[in-house]
Each structure stands twice: as structure tokens, then as C-alpha cells.
A and B are shown apart, each in its own frame.
Chain A
């Protein structure tokens, strides 16, 4: 046996060993299968990636946002300068900020498409109503995060967009004025406004977003994506059949009673 193919088979063995080890102690493989494999309707399967695309862009926002924080300074006298530094001095600063900016824009578009897909396919119907509601909460959170993020630039664009946005909000009945004063940190836009928008943009709402994303995914896995019922049932039947065969094989292989995935799957 050549040295290369020997190394290769050793690596494969080691890999298998690690995977088995983790599976036995943490059930990692089972969890991965549970989270990653999802039967989707055959027709128009690409359209079911819109939710994942949203999640991907939100992840990008978190990653690039955390990177921006290494240089961004949330005070009225330094915010603009620090972004100037990011754009002109920091290595790949234009790229990191550019991704944060464009991904925020695409995020809102993709969320819109995702919602449209769920709406037109009737995916919001029983028993998935709660996931639609959680989705609406997520949409509102993202919209407010995007609004507060734009103010952080503290340039003419960001400032006036914020003024206009707050004036629009101020027309809400009863709570409008108070909400705006809460956001501004007083009765005029000023240093307090930037501090608050910063706190809301990078801490409060991202922290609120995370658990709602968790609930959204949990509910999604609980009910599966909605599709053509016939196709759906067909594929589910095939999948279950394959699983049964696999288990049977495993049982035959080692001659021991099987207490693996099937049991766990039954329980949930």
C-alpha cells in the first residue's frame, strides 16, 4: 500500500473514530441529522431556501457588526471619524462595512420574499400560525435594528433619515411622542440619541432577536415546511421506509438489540 493511501485511510479511520466518539457522548450526528435534513416538496424546492438565506444574512450582520465594533466609537464627536477610519485606514474596512451595509439591505428584501413565499404557499395555516406570528416579531425586530443602525453613521444621510423616521413614529396615537422621547433620550436629537441607538442596535435587539430565531427554527422543525401534501406524504413515507431498512441492517450487523436513533425519534 502506498504511503499516501495509507495516510488517507488512517485519516478516515480517525475521522470515523472522532465522529463515533462524539455521537456516543453527545449524540452529535443524530442532532445534525435532525437539524439539517428536512424533506421539502419536490416542486420549487429552491424557494424553500429563502428562510435559510435570511438566517445566513442575519449571521453575516452579527459577524460583521462585531468586527465593526473594534473601531466604531458611539459618540457624536467621534462616530463619523471612526467610520472614516474604517473606510480609509482599517484593512478590509470597506469590505467589512460594505458587507454590513449591503447585507442589511438584502436582508430586508429577502425577508420580504420569504414572507411572500410562506403567504402564497399557505404555509401560515394550522398548525403553523404561531410560526407566522414569531416571524412577524422577527421582521419588526430587524426593521428596528436597521433603523437604529442607519443613525450610527452620524452623517447627513443617517441624521436626516433618523429625524424623518422619528417624526413618522411621533404621529402614532397616544404613545408616539413618548416613544420618540425614549429613543432620543430627551426632547431633541443629540448625543443621548446616538448612545441609545447604539445600545439598541448592538445589544438590546440583537439579544432579543436570537431567542426568537431559536423559537422560529424549533417550530419549523416541529411541523416541517409546508408543501404539496401529496408529495410531502410520499417523500415522508420513503424516508421512513429507508430509515427502517437502515435500522434493520444495523441490527443484523452487530447482532445486538438496537437502541439507537429509532427510539429517540419515537420519543420526539
Chain B
């Protein structure tokens, strides 16, 4: 240091180094930083998601039993690195990457609408408009991913009914996904869903947080 100070920098030198340094520094750091931070920019600045904002078919209302919940697996298409949609669509790579979510469906308080019993198990082609509205109001469409830290919850049959139990830290929810016990800070997340006249339940990869909070993207899974 002492050596350097014998030959002090002039103001011009200092500015020159400062300006050059900033330019060279920017040229060297911006490309690699943007390269690896790309996905964060896509999600937060451009508001993109890896899962398309579409409706995907889960199961038929007649498949939801009257006395316990039923899990449907929905394979949401994923738009990430080698599963870019364009690559798949042009047939370069035929293997579509998906994000498989297990979705727990049940009738609220285990009270199915009257017409469900009549449908039987045969996935009748369609249901009427009134039945759509009735089914829509009576369904629970819950995320199997625990509201604590995301482990997949299971339905545990017990003498007096049953409960959703999380294998990771013992979170417990009731048939409607409401919080019963354990570490989760809230009840199970509910998907944005709709029942259509073909009798099927359709979901978006999105949670309905209720009230004026609208919808929210699922985190991680």
C-alpha cells in the first residue's frame, strides 16, 4: 500500500478506472447472472408459470364415493428445460414431462347430492345444469400436498370415520380438509375447480385461497 501511495492516482485515473471498471464488470457479470437467474426473472418479472393456465380433467363425479375421499392423479404438463412445449409439439422429443399432483376429492361432510347415487359407477355421459351446480357446491377438491411443508397426505380410516394424516410431521385434517391438529398453519389447500356437464371435475394448477384473496399458485409441487 505504501508503495502504491508514493505514486498517487490522479483524479482522472480514478474516474477512468471507475468507469472502465463498471463497464467491464457489467459485461462480465450480467450474462452469467441472467443465465442462471433466468427462471426467477421469468416467474417474477414476466409472470410466467411452468404449468399452463388451463383446465385439466380430474375425474367423474360418480367416482367420488359417498363415505370416503377419492384421490385423482392429474398430470399437469410442464414447460421446463427439455420439456419445452415446442420441442414436444414438433415431435423432436416425444416424452412429455408432467407434474403429477394427487388431488383428494370428497363430498362436503360426506353428504353427496341425491342424484349421485342414481348415477352409479358408470360415468354416465352427462349431467344436467342443475346437477352441475349442485355437485359444484357439494365437492371438496383438495391438494394432497400438506399445508405445512408439502408432504403428500393420506386418508386414514378410523372407527368414527377417518382423517387426513400427513406422514412427515403428523398434520391432521378432517374430511373437508379443515385443520384438526399438528404443525400445519391452516387447512388443506383447495384447487380452483369446476364441474362440467360431461360430469367431470376440471382443475387448474392453482389454489382457491377463498374470500377476496382470489387464487394463488401452488408452491414447489
Q: Is A92 an interface position by the 8 A CB rule?
A: no
| Known contacts A160-B152, A164-B151, A167-B220; A189/B99 CB under 8 A | yes
| Known contacts A164-B168, A190-B83, A192-B39; A184/B149 CB under 8 A | no
Q: Is the CB of B97 within 8 A of A166?
A: no
Q: Is the CB of B149 within 8 A of A181?
A: no
Chain B residues with CB below 8 A from A77, complex form: 95
Q: Is B9 an interface position by the 8 A CB rule?
A: no
Q: Is the CB of B150 within 8 A of A188?
A: no
Q: Is B174 an interface position by the 8 A CB rule?
A: no
Chain B residues with CB below 8 A from A76, complex form: 97
Q: Is B197 an interface position by the 8 A CB rule?
A: no
For chain B, residues 136 to 153, give those with C-beta under 8 angstroms from any C-beta of chain A.
145, 149-152
Main secondary structure of the interface of A (DSSP, over half): helix
Q: How far is the CA of A128 from the CA of B43 in the complex (A)?
A: 44
Chain B residues with CB below 8 A from A182, complex form: 36-37, 39-40
Q: Give A187's nearest chain B residue, CB to CB.
A: B43
Q: Is B218 an interface position by the 8 A CB rule?
A: yes
Chain A residues with CB below 8 A from B36, complex form: 182
| Known contacts A166-B220, A191-B83; A186/B39 CB under 8 A | yes
Taking residues whose C-beta sits less than 8 angstroms from the other chain, chain B's interface range is 20 to 34
Chain A residues with CB below 8 A from B43, complex form: 181, 186-187
Q: Is B50 an interface position by the 8 A CB rule?
A: yes
Q: Give A186's nearest chain B residue, CB to CB.
A: B50
Q: Is the CB of A188 within 8 A of B220?
A: yes
Against A, the Cβ 8 Å flags (1 = close, 0 = not) of B6-45 are 0000000000000000000000000000001101101110
Q: Give B50's nearest chain A residue, CB to CB.
A: A186
Q: Is B49 an interface position by the 8 A CB rule?
A: yes
Against B, the Cβ 8 Å flags (1 = close, 0 = not) of A40-66 are 000000000000000000000000000
Taking residues whose C-beta sits less than 8 angstroms from the other chain, chain A's interface range is 20 to 34
User: From residue A198, how far is it (CB to closest CB) to chain B in Å?
Assistant: 12
Q: Is B78 an interface position by the 8 A CB rule?
A: yes
**Among B51, B82, B168, which residue has its beta carbon within 8 angstroms of that of A191?**
B82
How many CB-defined contacts (below 8 Å) exist between A and B?
86
Against B, the Cβ 8 Å flags (1 = close, 0 = not) of A137-177 are 00000000000000000000000100110111010000001
| Known contacts A167-B149, A167-B150; A191/B39 CB under 8 A | no
Q: How far is the CA of A166 from the CA of B151 in the complex (A)?
A: 12
Q: Give A160's nearest chain B residue, CB to CB.
A: B151
Q: Is the CB of B99 within 8 A of A181?
A: no
Q: Is the CB of A195 within 8 A of B151?
A: no
Q: Is the CB of A184 within 8 A of B220?
A: yes
Chain B residues with CB below 8 A from A186, complex form: 39, 42-43, 49-50, 80
Q: How far is the CA of A178 from the CA of B43 in the complex (A)?
A: 9
User: From residue B66, how far is it (CB to closest CB) to chain A in Å?
Assistant: 31
| Known contacts A167-B150, A184-B39; A192/B81 CB under 8 A | yes
Q: Is the CB of B149 within 8 A of A187?
A: no
Q: Is B217 an interface position by the 8 A CB rule?
A: yes
Q: How far is the CA of A185 from the CA of B49 in the complex (A)?
A: 11
Chain A residues with CB below 8 A from B81, complex form: 185, 191-192, 195
Chain A residues with CB below 8 A from B51, complex form: 187-188
Chain A residues with CB below 8 A from B217, complex form: 187
Cβ contacts A to B, 19 pairs, < 8 Å? A75-B82, A76-B97, A163-B149, A166-B220, A168-B149, A178-B40, A180-B219, A181-B40, A184-B220, A185-B81, A187-B43, A187-B49, A187-B217, A188-B49, A188-B50, A189-B221, A191-B83, A191-B97, A195-B81
Other than the known A188-B78, A195-B81, what 7 A-B pairs have Cβ atoms closer than 8 Å? A163-B150, A163-B221, A182-B37, A184-B220, A185-B39, A188-B80, A192-B50
Query: 8 closest pairs, A vs B, by CB?
Result: A186-B50, A192-B80, A167-B149, A190-B80, A164-B149, A163-B150, A185-B39, A186-B39
Which B residues form the contact surface with A (CB < 8 A)?
36-37, 39-40, 42-44, 49-51, 78, 80-83, 95, 97, 99, 145, 149-152, 168, 205, 217-221
